[in-house]
Chains A and B, each alone.
Chain A
Amino acid sequence: MIYTISDLTKIYGARTVLDIPRLEIEKEHIYALLGPNGAGKTTLLNILGLLEAPTAGQVQYCSRPIRYSESELQSLRKEVVVVDQHPILFTTTVYKNLEFGLKIRKIPKKERARIIDESLDMVGVRYFSKALAPNLSGGETQRVALARALALSPKVLLCDEPTSSVDIENQNIIINILRRINEIKKITVLFTTHDRSQAARLAQHTIVLNHGKLVPTMYENIFRGVLQQDQSGQVQYIIHDKIHLPITQDHIKNRNGAVSVFIDPEKIELILLAEDQSNRKALHGRVVQMIEENGKIRVVVDAGVWIALLISKKRYDETRPLVGEYIGIRISAEAIQLL
């Protein structure tokens, strides 16, 4: 493992932005860090990039706990580089931007020139070498920032939303660069993104954060709602006044003020409306999206809110849902997790 995180918390003022009991990151793999805005992705990236210290807990790098002394951080930072969501280049030439980190590492001049050319080649912007960095476009800046990081041959490359501020053409180029540097240079890559499909295309592992906590899968099935007791004393979880979910006493006991729920897409049952005649508890909704994912079928249903299901191919063959068709979904208490 290149990183092992245990009992990490990061608190700003009175707000806990990260609360991660355990997280391991494997060497030479690509990780996607998914989550909505404010989930704590950038904070985690900065902690892994040794730019911020956690409020509590331990981060191990290459099986050694980080102590956060300035001298230790400085030497570790020579192995870990963070590329910002909107990277900034020094107001000088592209060449000198790449030279900066190499000079710090006391690389001889000739060697510096070779590495710079190679790095610019790798991201396909060698012809910009003499150009003034502030004159570059967003996509070019992003690529030069990647080259500047690559020139330092880091063990870990941490990219914050590497494709969010660039056009489609540059998005594909950047994705390919990240894939190549992982394959060729064996650099561990961790990038944050909002884009689930990009994460699936590029990453071997996906980490999902919501409100600073790790959640078991994609954040699409996370909802905010209220707990309400009906006349019979039964507690229900209500989303947008429309959807009533069954809640067990265990859920309420474990509730620590949170009002968000996660519904495990693999535990949601898909039923045809014909099958639902005898069962009034099923939610009805329209199929809006279907995609094959790791041997299963992901079905997204609009039931007032968008709910994603992961069904087996067998169940898919049995039910054959179509996009635009109305179907039923059944959510049991076991599928619900209070966050």
Chain B
Amino acid sequence: MDLIVDSFISAILLVISLDAEMVVIVGVSLKVSCTSTVFASLIGVPLGFIMAFGSFHGKRMLITVLNTMLALPTVVIGLFVYAFISRRGIFGVFDLLYTQNAIIIGQTILIIPVVTAFTIAAISRIDERYRKTAKTLGANRRQTAWVIFREARFGIVAAIIAAFGRVISEVGISMMLGGNIKGFTRTMTTAMALEYDKGAYTLAVALGIVLLTLSFGMNLLFHFFQGRVRSQ
């Protein structure tokens, strides 16, 4: 019990004093997670929009595949990307393994299905009358699509926040593709795993506090936007 209380108190002090090592780790985590979220959003939002808005053969099957990919384990993605970017892989020449870029690639793959599926859900929830109204007011296909997109904006933002929540807390990809290199690819989750292995709980608990605070903030934002969707 003492161990937990002592670690917790030390961790709080570490957070308050903005410990240099902890700040670097949080910085790396935020950098890779934000970047991968941006890339996944740039791909997933338009993809989700096209899938929800358009009608094409095999649409339902594609959505089913996408929903299945939501459950993809991070270690599977880690292994998959590793096969491509390791020295013997076809992208080996780019020397990406154990870099922040490798983590970003893996995390982007991880959350593209999240952003896409949630975007599809957000667009599908939009009342069919918006499309009809835009058309009767003279909108062309592009302008009608914009109306739908605008009406689904809160749902799409919620999709992006959910995706960020997924990457900031993942450990498999960061560990396998980043290599947990101090000051370079060490993220909050990999650092916590390492500190736990070492039996040094203070930094692990401190990072846990930061991670939980971030997750709590993200969830608050997520529920705020979900609330806006429901009130529409």
Which A residues contact B (CB, under 8 angstroms)? 49, 51, 70, 74, 77-78, 80-82, 84, 86-88, 90-91, 100-101, 104-105, 134, 148-149, 152
Interface CB pairs A-B, < 8 A, 17: A74-B138, A80-B136, A81-B136, A81-B137, A82-B132, A82-B136, A84-B133, A88-B129, A90-B133, A90-B151, A91-B151, A100-B137, A104-B140, A104-B143, A105-B138, A134-B232, A148-B137
Query: Bound state CA distance, A77 and B135, in angstroms?
Result: 8
Which of B138, B139, B151 counts the most chain A CB atoms within 10 A? B138
> From residue A81, how far is it (CB to closest CB) to chain B in Å?
5
Additional 10 contacts, C-beta under 8 A, given A88-B130, A100-B147: A49-B136, A51-B136, A77-B135, A77-B136, A81-B136, A82-B136, A90-B150, A90-B151, A91-B150, A101-B138
Which B residues contact A (CB, under 8 angstroms)? 127, 129-130, 132-141, 143, 147, 150-151, 231-232
Output the nearest chain B residue to A105 by Cβ-Cβ distance: B138
Query: Bound state CA distance, A145 and B230, in angstroms?
Result: 22
> Which residue from B129, B141, B147, B231 sits with its C-beta under 8 Å from A84?
B129
The 10 closest A-B pairs by CB, nearest first: A101-B137, A88-B129, A82-B136, A78-B138, A104-B138, A77-B138, A101-B138, A81-B136, A91-B232, A74-B140
Residues of A within 8 A of B135 (CB): 51, 77
Query: Bound state CA distance, A91 and B129, in angstroms?
Result: 13
> From residue A78, how far is it (CB to closest CB) to chain B in Å?
5
Query: Bound state CA distance, A134 and B127, in angstroms?
Result: 13
Query: Bound state CA distance, A289 and B232, in angstroms?
Result: 45
Answer whether A104 and B141 are a contact pair too, CB < 8 Å, given A88-B127, A88-B129, A88-B130.
no
Output the nearest chain B residue to A73 by Cβ-Cβ distance: B135
> From residue B78, how far is it (CB to closest CB) to chain A in Å?
41
Residues of A within 8 A of B137 (CB): 81, 100-101, 104, 148-149, 152
Answer whether A104 and B139 are a contact pair too, CB < 8 Å, given A88-B127, A90-B150, A134-B232.
yes
Output the nearest chain B residue to A86 by Cβ-Cβ distance: B129
Residues of B within 8 A of A101 (CB): 137-139
Query: Bound state CA distance, A90 and B151, in angstroms?
Result: 7
Residues of A within 8 A of B141 (CB): 70
Residues of B within 8 A of A105 (CB): 138
Output the nearest chain A residue to B154 by Cβ-Cβ distance: A91
Query: Bound state CA distance, A104 and B134, in angstroms?
Result: 10
Which of B136, B147, B151 counts the most chain A CB atoms within 10 A? B136
Do B133 and A152 touch across chains, with their CB atoms under 8 A apart? no
